Amino acid sequence: MSATPAPAPIVLVSGLPRSGTSLLMQMLAAGGFPVLADDERAPDASNPKGYQEWGGAKGLARDPESVRVARGRAVKVISALLPSLPAGERYFVLFAERDPREIEASQRAMLARLAAARGESLPPDDGVGAAALAAHVARARAWLDAPAQRDHFAVLAVRHADAIRAPREAAARIAAFLAPACAEIGIALDVAAMAAAVDPALYRTRASAGSGAAAAF
């Protein structure tokens, strides 16, 4: 009797909100990797090319097994939900890293746009600053890198700034990392198309050199 084939791996695009996860999903989709996304959150001024999100990801804490629908595909899962994932799957994680000052400023800029669209004022600062965001990322990476996760999670960190400034090199690194998953699924990533999906004009929130501030546009 032949052995039952192992389920296809799941590609996770993770990180903090506004860290570049949507960009990585857009690159994968452009390169020909199947993505799990729906139209629950439409493109807007904060993300004109779309969020590439799956609404079911928000319920992973209470229904972790639902992630199985993403076998053979890429899905965005924010870093706070990574510990909710079932250990019985195989994951290739693209972890988006971005200057926490830029994440903080970008999140505030997005909240301001949403408030303006509703005719409301910007809500008060919730106190989640760059230092707290950096600490969260450190905890998430430590969890992913722990010995207990190594049999299930392969991780590639992708810096947002690097993807913007050198998209071809970033796309090539991603393609090399995902080569085993692509071989199982039976696809070949188009590195040139992945790189072409990057629009440097959308890098609108940048940390100011030599200061702790970030300029949000």
Domains of the chain and any CATH numbers: 10-203 (3.40.50)
CA angle 100/102/107 to nearest 5° reads 95
Tracing tokens 């993403």 back to the chain, one arrives at: 70
- Evaluate whether 129 touches 68 at the Cβ level (below 8 Å): no
- Answer yes or no: is pLDDT of 216 > 70: no
For residues 99-113, give the mean pLDDT.
Answer: 85
Residues β-bridged to residue 96 = 158
Q: What is the pLDDT of residues 176-211, one digit of tens each?
A: 999 999 999 999 999 999 999 999 988 877 765 444
Q: What is the pLDDT of residues 32-87, one digit of tens each?
A: 999 999 978 888 877 888 889 999 999 999 999 999 999 999 999 999 999 999 98
Give, for 11, the enclosing helix (H) or strand (E).
strand 10-14
Question: Which residue type does 27 have?
Answer: M
Q: Which residue has the higher pLDDT, 108 or 62?
A: 62
Report d(CA 69, CA 124) in Å as an integer.
38
User: Please, what sign has the CA dihedral across residues 30, 113, 204, 207?
Assistant: negative
* Per-residue burial over 150-172, b = 16 or more CB atoms within 10 Å of its CB, e = otherwise: eebbbbeebbbbebbeebeebbb
Q: What is the pLDDT of residues 156-181, one digit of tens each?
A: 999 999 999 999 999 999 999 999 99
- Answer yes or no: is pLDDT of 143 > 70: yes
Question: Which residue type does 139 have?
Answer: R
